[in-house]
Structure 1
Amino acid sequence: MLALSAEGILPKVDYAIFADTGWEPAAVYKHLDRLETEIARSAGIPVLRVSSGNIRDDALDPNHRFASMPLYILNQDGKQGMTRRQCTGEYKIKPIKKKVRELLGYPYPQRIPKDVLVEQWIGISTDEFHRAKDADVRYMKNVHPLIEMGWSRSDCTRYLASLGLADTPKSSCLGCPFHGNAQWRHIRDTSPEEWQDVVEFDAAIRKGNARANATGNKLLGQAFLHRSRVPLSEAPIDHVTAAERAALQDELTDVYELEHGVAGGCSPWACRGEVDAPAQDDFGLTS
């Protein structure tokens, strides 16, 4: 959408906003720098980077309230579950809304007049039209230009390729539990430092987040980044195991998702996955 606006195919936007969780792959930050210097700057479109903190550091900080990631849980009785997904709201939506209020001239807790409104573009394509929703606040109006243009993900890919941006990476946390095996392998095989980072994080959150443990609300089970619910360093990311196939009942869509992850990137208003297992409160606490 930024490129379409910069080229005049779509109207010129006032700002482009990137919500930074603090734990994106290096390739994403490199790509963002390129977009800013090669496309946005010449078009006079400011790229604003906003943040609510570093999601990795916050999860491991016993003094910080942590908005939980959708981790895979293995309870002591063998039952499986997932923790609630709060990270999108805390690390994506919250800082964007804060910046929008500031741009409108009404930072929190000021009341925004009824006649003050921002038009917010969200990059959902026709493949995911069901994710297109109205804003949950009065001062925002959600608009979905790609859907209005009838563009699919393939159309977007071809357009990016025409601009020399065929290598556009997915935006998502380095240790996002919604990664498929292909993405885990890509991290392992192309970026040893980032792989070591996610392996260490996976081990560090095994018993729950640091704040919960410090306050005595320990996880009654174990938490994992990989859906196999084994340590990431040992997870079967090179192939789909027989046990996994049996658990998935050989449904091709689920096998595809296991390999490639949930489609899409981590858009604030269209997170790349939804929790499909029973979600548990307070970082998966079963007590």
Structure 2
Amino acid sequence: MTTTSLMTPDSGPALRLLSLGAGVQSTTVLLLACEGEIPRFDVALFADTGWEPRAVYANLERLSTHAQRHGIPVRQVSAGNIRTDALDPKHRFVSMPLHTLNPDGSRGLARRQCTAEYKITPLKKTARELLGCPHPRRVPRGLYAEQAIGISTDEFTRAKDSGLRFLRNVFPLIELGFDRSRCMEFLADRGFGETVKSACVGCPFHGNAGWRWVRDHDPDGWVEAVEFDRAIRHGYPRATTQGQELRGQYFLHRSCRPLDQVDLDAPAKSRTKKHLRLVTTDSADGVEEDGDPDGCSPWSCRSGEPVTATTPSVDHGHRERAA
């Protein structure tokens, strides 16, 4: 596709892209485009962290075949394997939001930059290349790609602009009035009812329900997560080899206990007076059943910012070293 005739400010997008996570919402968006309910995408981009559940990769393969039949290519882009990189002493640090237990017993969360590094950066890089302006070449004013993000109406507060002149986010599900339940019904009607949530196997934002799913449906992934949890207990190998002082311990589970020692059984429901709504909690650990609702969708999370809404913050020196 040529872009030379599409460089005036009012000419519309030169390209229509989909940020495809291969989870429920983005899968719905891709199928809607295949059916002609929304404009067709020039390319669907899957930012691969290298550590998605096996079910997500299986869905991605099926989606790629389905979309190709409707003239929409699916392309995988990657900045590396987040699990391998984090455990490699020769690789620069990987900033995952690990749960931290400080020597004084207080808890916090390490810096969160993995979404930016492993999802946003490769998506931005690829968008520039598709526009014919790879870095450091300047993108001409008025030339841009429209990028669809799979955010449903029940998550409308997560809809954010990219902050880039050459990449403008749009939200088809919000425009169509689709919530997550509607998406799941839509997928079931089309034979994609087994689509699961897209998130790294070892994402520290999993709640107990997410960890149970990994344990029960992705046994190889569970073994990897348990091994990873043990390996990062005293910090990333890169920091250790550089002789940086690391205070406290690091965990994947928000209870700050070894992952394979946490009771992940489904808890009973209880009512909180403060919020006047039903919430599910783990009676043993006091941990919410669901994970962080902010998730890690590109441009939809607080990537790069310390997340301290549910736990006491770590002191700045600790957080920098944790990262």
Q: Does 1:284 align with 2:312?
A: no
1:143 counterpart letter in structure 2: V
Q: Find the aligned partners of 1:181 and 1:264 in 2 and give their Cα distance.
A: 16
Within-5 A mapping of 1:111-260:
111-239=138-266, 252-253=278-279, 255=281, 258-260=288-290
Aligned counterparts, 1:258-273, within 5 A: 258-263=288-293, 266-271=296-301
Query: Aligned AA for 2:241?
Result: A
Deviations 1:161-185 (A, max 9, x none): 1111111011110000111112212
Q: Aligned-pair distance for 1:216?
A: 1.3
The match for 2:84 among 38, 57, 68 is 57
Q: Give the conservation status (yes or no) of the 8 Å contact 1:217–1:285.
A: no
Q: 1:231-257: CA deviations, max 9, x gaps? A: 00101212559xxx99x9998547398
Partner SS, residue 284 of structure 1: helix
State the Cα distance separating 1:192 from its structure 2 match. Answer: 2.7
Letter in 1 for 2:76: R
TM-score when normalising by structure 1:
0.90
**C-alpha spacing 1:121/1:279, structure 2 compared with 1 (3 Å):** farther
1:14 to 2:42 alignment: yes
* Contact 2:111-2:319 within 8 A present in 1 as well: yes
Aligned partner of residue 154 in structure 2, secondary structure: helix
The alignment's C-alpha RMSD in Å is 2.7
Question: Percent identical across equivalent pairs?
Answer: 53
Q: How far is 1:32 from its partner?
A: 0.3
SS of structure 2 residue aligned to 1:81: strand
Residues 119 and 190 (structure 1), Cα distance of their counterparts in 2 relative to 1, 3 Å cut: closer
Contact 1:84 1:280 (8 Å CA) reproduced: no
Distance 2:39 2:252 in 1: 41
Q: Distance in 2 between matches of 1:118 and 1:107?
A: 14
Instruction: State yes or no: 1:29 paired with 2:57.
Output: yes
Residue 71, structure 1, aligned to residue 101, structure 2: no
Q: Structure 2: give runs of 5+ residues left out of the alignment.
A: 1-28
Partner of residue 23, structure 2: none
Is the 1:262–1:272 contact (alpha carbons within 8 Å) kept by the matching residues of 2? no
Q: Structure 1 99/155 Cα, relative in aligned 2: closer, same or farther at 3 Å?
A: same
Residue type matched to 1:71 in 2? L
Looking at structure 1, the residues matched to 121 and 228 of structure 2 have their Cα atoms a distance apart, in angstroms, of 24
Unaligned runs of 5+ in 1: none
Task: For 1:12 and 1:43, locate their aligned partners in 2 and report how far apart those are by CA, in whole Å.
Answer: 9
Q: Indicate the structure with greater helix content.
A: 1
Count the aligned residue pairs.
282
Q: 1:255 corresponds to which letter in structure 2?
A: T
Q: Which amino acid aligns with 2:32?
A: L
CA distance in 2, matches of 1:126, 1:33: 27
Please tell me whether the aligned partners of residues 111 and 320 of structure 2 are also in contact (alpha carbons under 8 angstroms). Answer: no
- Native 8 Å contact 1:60 1:204 kept in 2: yes
